[in-house]
Structure 1
Amino acid sequence: MEWFEQAQAAEQRRDWDAAIALVSAHAECYSIDPHRHDSHLWHVDLLARADRLSELTERALTDVHARRRLNTSLRERGMEAALRNRAKDGDRGALYVLVRLLCETSRTQEAHRAVQDFGPDDQYAHQIVARFRSPSGGAQ
């Protein structure tokens, strides 16, 4: 698998363009071939690590893996406003990431407000906040 070793080497030297080009040629979301699916996940991760957030955002419209990786990347970069916008636009994953971020930084009231604003009927979002409000669940 020559392309695989080349992609790994490109990734190690942070040559994102080369790594992305090599991996994307072998990537297929939900492929019955597990290697193609793994390559898809690798491709999405490379896009995030290369700071290609606009490309990741475009893919996130139809690709759940890109959407998850984008939301994680936004959190890692401290892009809370972008998470809020995605939650406002109906991305439940972004809402959950935002709520966890707010709760983990001792802002449970803000987290509760975000749930009320963006997912008032979303039981899972309410559960995240409730876990942090409970004595054993984390910050109060």
Structure 2
Amino acid sequence: MDWFEQARAAEQLRDWDAAITLVSAHAECYSSDHYMHGNHLWHMELLARAERFTELTELALTDVHARRRLNRSLRDQGMEAALRSRAKDRDRDALYVLVRLLCEANRVQEAHQVVQDFGPEDQYAHRIVARFRTPRSGAQ
């Protein structure tokens, strides 16, 4: 059995240590080898599924994929305060994830305030809020 099959088997068994170790040895962010890059994304996914938020947070300092996966994980775990803290620390992706979370929970005014507090000049964040403020017509 090669490393890939071993990693898939470990993942299915939720043996996160083994899966992460195997995949990370064959992973490289922005590699010209698309398999290495794909393995890097898989590595970030495994860290999130293992709830290794400390490792993701450390990697997020320099790795956009880790940052995005961390923010999605924080959202999935309902860790709004952590997203708010990351947005306050100028993590734009965290701002967008937080704003969407608030808007989807019908807390549009709070989302607007978050944008005012953490990204008043961020047009994309304003557009997210505007989409939820605009009455929608037709089927969704």
Q: TM-score range by the shorter chain?
A: over 0.9
- Which residue in the other structure is 1:4 paired with? 4
> How far apart in 1 are the matches of 2:8 and 2:109?
44
2:126 is aligned with 1:126: yes
Structure 1 stretch 128-137 or stretch 64-73: which is displaced more?
Answer: 128-137
TM-superposed CA distance for 1:95, in Å, is 0.2
> How far apart in 2 are the matches of 1:100 and 1:51?
22
Alignment of 1:1-140 (within 5 A): 2-136=2-136
> How far apart in 1 are the matches of 2:95 and 2:62?
18
TM-superposed CA distance for 1:74, in Å, is 0.1
> How far apart in 1 are the matches of 2:41 and 2:10?
17
TM-superposed CA distance for 1:27, in Å, is 0.3
Number of residues paired by the alignment?
A: 137
**Structure 2: runs of 5 or more not aligned:** none
The letter for the 2-side match of 1:80 is: E
> How far apart in 1 are the matches of 2:128 and 2:136?
13
The letter for the 2-side match of 1:51 is: E
> How far apart in 1 are the matches of 2:5 and 2:84?
39
> How far apart in 1 are the matches of 2:21 and 2:47?
10
* 1:96-131 CA-partner distances (Å, limit 9, x unpaired): 000000000000000000000000000000000000
The letter for the 2-side match of 1:109 is: Q
TM-superposed CA distance for 1:53, in Å, is 0.2
| Root-mean-square deviation (Å) | 0.9
> Which consecutive segments of 4 or more residues in structure 1 shift more than 4 A?
none
> How far apart in 1 are the matches of 2:30 and 2:116?
34
* 1:58-90 CA-partner distances (Å, limit 9, x unpaired): 000000000000000000000000000000000
TM-score (norm 2): 0.96
TM-score (norm 1): 0.96
Identity within the alignment, %: 77
**Structure 1: runs of 5 or more not aligned:** none
> How far apart in 2 are the matches of 1:32 and 1:86?
30
TM-superposed CA distance for 1:134, in Å, is 0.2
